[in-house]
Amino acid sequence: MATIIEELITYCQHARSKPNCISTVETYLRDKLSSIATAMATTKNGGIEALYVSDTLTVLNVVWQPRMMMPPHNHNTWAVIGVYVGQEDNTFWRRLQGDTMGRIEQVGSQSICAGEVIAMPEETIHSVKNPINEFTGAIHIYGANFFSIQRSKWDSQGLREQAYSVDENNQSFES
């Protein structure tokens, strides 16, 4: 008998061939999030656990430390995120037209709490904060290999674009 995580991975692999892949994955994750929450162990450590990685799909268990923040970054692929415990506050950004330094400006925000899902198209730039004094756990699904795709981050002070480092990102989750 397959676990809920194995079922999620299989479903996402099949959904990749559908024209409305991102909304299909979003709906499925929303429907299965309570079962996933039951299957995930409560943790007292932040971190990123790779549940599945291929060239066309990555499924991660991301656990945010209390009050942890991640500066603006992009994924250069679509993403679907479902929070199973806690809360993620997402701030959305867009590139300033004509800016030679790659700077960005804020264009919106959305909080997602336990049981909620958000889908982000490929061009999304966002920053993330766990605003609570508890760990936040979320399933992150990406339409590419999260660990090898080239992408950017923006510094918190001048909002200037720079290269994104997976190693730096992973270290920020460790306490």
Cα 35 to its chain centre, rounded Å, is 19
Query: What does the pLDDT look like over 87-146, one tens digit per residue?
Result: 999 999 999 888 888 889 999 999 999 999 999 999 999 999 999 999 999 999 999 999
Integer Cα distance of 80 and 141 in angstroms: 5
> Two tokens at 74?
């992009």
| Alpha carbons 34 and 103: distance in angstroms, whole number | 38
Lowest mean pLDDT segment, chosen from 25-34, 77-86, 144-153, 154-163 = 154-163
pLDDT band at 44 (very low <50, low <70, confident <90, very high): confident
**Strand, coil or helix: what is 127?**
strand
Mean pLDDT, residues 58-70 taken together = 95
Say which amino acid occupies 152: S
Q: What are the start-end ranges of the H helices in 16-155?
A: 21-39
As a whole number of angstroms, the distance between CA 15 and CA 164 comes to: 28
What pLDDT, on the 0 to 100 scale, is given for residue 161? 85
Instruction: Give the three-state DSSP class for 64.
Output: strand
* Least confident range of 4-8, 85-89, 92-96, 159-163: 159-163
pTM over 0.85: yes
Residue 140's nearest CA partner among 38, 40, 67 is 40
